[in-house]
Every structure is written in structure tokens, then in C-alpha cells.
Amino acid sequence: MKTIDAVLSNQHNGLSLSAPSFTFYQTWKGSLDCVSFAPETIKEKLLNLTQPCYVIQVNGKIGVTNEGYLSPSEHNPHSQIDLLMALPPVQLQQLGDTNFLSFHNVKYAYLTGAMAGGIASEDMVIALGKERILSSFGAGGLPPERLEAAIQKIQQALPLGPYAFNLIHSPNEPAIERRAVDLYLKYGVRTIEASAFLDLTLNIVYYRAAGLSINSANEIEIKNKIIAKISRREVATKFMQPAPTKMLQELVSQGLITELQANLAATIPLADDITVEADSGGHTDNRPLVCLLPSIIALRDEIQAKYQYAKPIRIGAAGGIATPESVLAAFMMGAAYIVTGSINQSCVESGSCDHTKQLLAQAEMADVMMAPAADMFEMGVKLQVLKRGTMFPLRAQKLYEIYRNYNSIDEIPIAEKEKLEKQVFRKTLGEIWEETATYLSQKNPEKLGKAVNNPKLKMALIFRWYLGLSSRWSNTGETSRQVDYQIWCGPAMGSFNDWVRGSYLAEANNRRVVDIANHLMIGTAFLYRIQSLRIQGLQLSDYYTQYYPTRSTLQV
């Protein structure tokens, strides 16, 4: 039995002890040849996560090994070897909730979120899916034919999954939601990521209920899974409760679901997983994760106590997830899984153009700001975008100010209109309206009819021309419009760039989504081991506590 009650100050390898008295009832046995005392080899031992980690003291020197074994302690006052600490192997699959892994048939409690307009591309979803990592395709803003082609391509490459598709809330154009749901049901898309929802819609309830049945074990079988991304308790509550009875009965009356499916839907939550979206890119409330996540977990516990679901809802974390430190913090706060977003946009597989990827790779944490959202412009909804290298956020904000201050295009002062036409639109407002009217006549004639008799709506639609195209320019690489690129981005991008600076991932051309996922999970497990040693009283220099992504780490 060994007791540690001293502070060792004669170490030169960056390891020392500062702890109260600890009593050990086991001792380490093995060859001293496998014990590392030099900083470089010690860190190798700490990084060997698949093996146990033993910290021992030999003749006053602290060393680390992955070999040997523990045995019951035998009191030996002449022993030169003291066992200081022992840690088991760290499996990446242990991070988060293992039920997430089995439910979605994945190897990590990790999801890459949907970035609209196909930024979260087919290539991204396929690359991650082949490594059994869940990824959500960015379906928001895409026409039905483009979405259908994406479904076919991804399903051909991943016939057994895993993959997910985004369903973005479209309060002003519910038909967009319905067309996406119809495609998901037609092709048997079994997992969707619901985002930007302000309230439940008949469309998302339809998707959920249409996939319910009873299996041979007389249990509810959930074929259509929903991961709901939220940032407000009131919205989270709706997804955590069963679907509203009124909506279910309406679907039954329309012949879209059966009475059995309606009854089953009344006994399960609408969503299987709730992603708590903190300070993220795109649509966001800029909430701090350390405040929001515990609040939503507590809400989940309240609702679980009320409904007693057979399978409790899992709560994940998104927004600001960009480094092993942030991932570990999320897991330690109780996140069942983590979701990355902004950082994937700078990767080789993303649907953004090369110029956008370069801007993202250079971004710092303060290089973001809020700007009006195209899809909910009239409601004043904003999203977070990159401000470095683009004038979009300032110009978009100006458009919203004009919309608020005037009731029609005709009311805008002539000097202001000329400035808009020359600097922002690069076309006359009349030409913009002609293009908009032509588009709406084909896609949404009802809205066109309303706009003809509503000058305020007409002005909003003209302004939305710029807001809508600016994100497409960023994807297609419209060189003449680089200054107008709308690039959805949160402060996580800057945090990620700080972390990978000096590594092979500093260059956008080297960034691959699978590498980033693996590095984040390995780095998180490594930091968990480091924190476990610290809690036991081991003091480590900064050299040991930092995880830097290298290609060699992924080959171990």
C-alpha cells in the first residue's frame, strides 16, 4: 500500500504531483524498460488510448507506461516503484450516449449538420457515411428536382446508410416543406434533421406518423426518425411531446396515415433526438451552450417523467463545436452527441466554392455578424454570417432598414434607389422585379398575385432577390460577385482555425470531413484522459495537455 502526500518538484519532464494523501491498494508490475520518462515518449503513451495508462514513480522520477498489470498491493518499504495513477483504455465509442450509436447505426456520437443549398453536399454525406458517421444533407433552398437527384445519389452510394436529410421550416411557403416530405417518404429516407422550426407543421407530423407500425414483438417500430435542432425551450417542448391530436386526426381524415399510426404517434415523442443549437452559423439565437444545454436537458427530464417514454429523448449539442476542448465540454455537460457545422463548410467535400473555403480558413472568432435571413426576411429573422472579405452583411442590413422605413419601392428616395441599383443589385429595381415575377409565375403564382396588390410585399420580394442569390453566388463561385457572398458561419470557425494553425489542416485544400471528425473525437478522448489524471493530482505541463492534429495520429 503506497501513500502520496508530497509535492514532487525535482521533475524535469513536465510531470509533478500536487495532491493530498492518496492510498492505493494495488501495485504495478512489469518491466521498467517499457516505462517512459522523456516528454516525447510520455506523450506517445498518453495518446495510446486503446491501452491502459499507468503513472508510476521510480526512484523519485515520474514515468508513464501502457504495459504491465495491476496486482493487490503488498507492503514493501524497500520498493523502488510506486503506483501513482491507473486509467483504463478510452474508447471513442464511449463518448456520448451509446444509444445514439445503436439507434442510428453509427460508430461515433457525432453528426455533421445540414448547411442549406447543398453546402452539406452529397460528397460530404457519402464520405462520412462510408465511415459510419452520420451526416445531414443540406436540402434547404434546393428545388425538388435537385433534392431528388441528391437522394438518389446518396442512397446508391450508401444503400444501408447512415445518412440524414434536412427539412427546413418554411413558414411563408409551406408547399416547400410538403414537397420535401413527399420525396423523403417516396424514397424511404429514414432520418431527417428538422431545423429553423418556429412551430410544428402538418408536414413534419405527417413524416413522423407515416413511419410508425407494430413489429413482431408487439413494440412500436419507428421507421422515420427525427433529429430536431432547436434553441428555445418552447419549441423544444413541442418536439419532446407527442404529435398534437388535432394534426393527427387531420392526417387521418386526409387518408395520409391510418388510425393505428395516429394512435401510436400519440404515445411517442415527435423527435428521437433534440439538438441544442447554441451560437452557430446560419439561423441562431446566439445562446451560450453552457446555459442552454443544461436547461434543455432538465426540460427533457421533466417531460420524460410525465410521459414515461420507453426510449427517452437524447439531447445533443451544436454551435461552437470546433475543438477537442469544446467537444469534451459538451459531453461533460451531458450531451448525448455533438453536431459540427461551420467547420465542415471549409472542407474539400463541401458545396461552397474555393474562394469561400479560403475565406473561412482565414476567419477569426470575431469575423462574424448577424444579417437578415432571406427565407424569413419580413419577420426580421437574422442569421449569422462571415463578415471578413464580403460586404453582404452590411448591405443586407441596409435593405432591411429600408424595408422597415418605407411601405413601397416608390417611397424610397431617388438617391437611395440609385445607390441600391449601382452598388447592391447592379440592375434597376424594375429589372429585378421582372426577374422575380417571372420566377414566381412558375414557382409560386399565388404569392405573385398577392405582391401585385401589396407594395410592401413587392418590395420585400425584390430585396429577397439579393438575399437569396448571394448564398448561391458563394456556392457557385460567381467571381463578379465575391464581395456579395453570403457565407453562413459561426465563431466556431475561428476557434477551429486557431486550433489547427501550424498543422496540415491549416490549409483548406487538406481539410476533409472524415479527418476532422476523427481528430475531434481522438482529441476529445485524449483530453478526457488528461483531465482524469489532473483530477487525481498529476500536474502536467502544456506540452502534454494539447492535442494537435497530425496525419500520423490517424494511422495509429
Pairing mode, strands 110-112 and 338-340: parallel
Q: With contact defined as beta carbons under 8 Å apart, do 169 and 143 qualify?
A: no
- Please state the length of the chain: 556
DSSP SS3 for 411: helix
| CA neighbor of 455 nearest in space, from 405, 420, 415, 406 | 406
Q: With contact defined as beta carbons under 8 Å apart, do 342 and 490 qualify?
A: yes
- Per-residue burial over 91-113, b = 16 or more CB atoms within 10 Å of its CB, e = otherwise: ebeebbbebbbebbebebbbbbb
Express each pLDDT in 472-500 by its tens digit.
999 999 999 999 999 999 999 999 999 99
Q: What is the 3-state secondary structure (H, E, C) of 125-136?
A: HHHHHCCCCEEE
Residue 10: the pLDDT is 40
Express each pLDDT in 434-459 by its tens digit.
999 999 998 888 889 999 999 999 99
Residue 1: the pLDDT is 34
Residue 78: the pLDDT is 57
| CA atoms of 8 and 208, how far apart (whole Å) | 60
Axis crossing angle, helix 202-209 with helix 245-253, rounded to the nearest 10: 80
Environment class of 280 (CB within 10 Å of its CB; exposed 0-12, middle 13-18, buried 19+):
buried
Residue 239: the pLDDT is 98
402, β-bridge pairs: none
Residue 21: the pLDDT is 42
Residues in contact with 249: Cβ distance below 8 Å, sequence separation at least 6, in sequence order: 262
What pTM did the predictor assign?
Answer: 0.92
Residue 480: the pLDDT is 96
Query: pLDDT below 50 — which residues of the chain?
Result: 1-11, 20-21
| CA atoms of 442 and 438, how far apart (whole Å) | 7
The grid coordinates of residue 5 equal 502526500
| CA atoms of 9 and 289, how far apart (whole Å) | 38
| CA atoms of 327 and 109, how far apart (whole Å) | 11
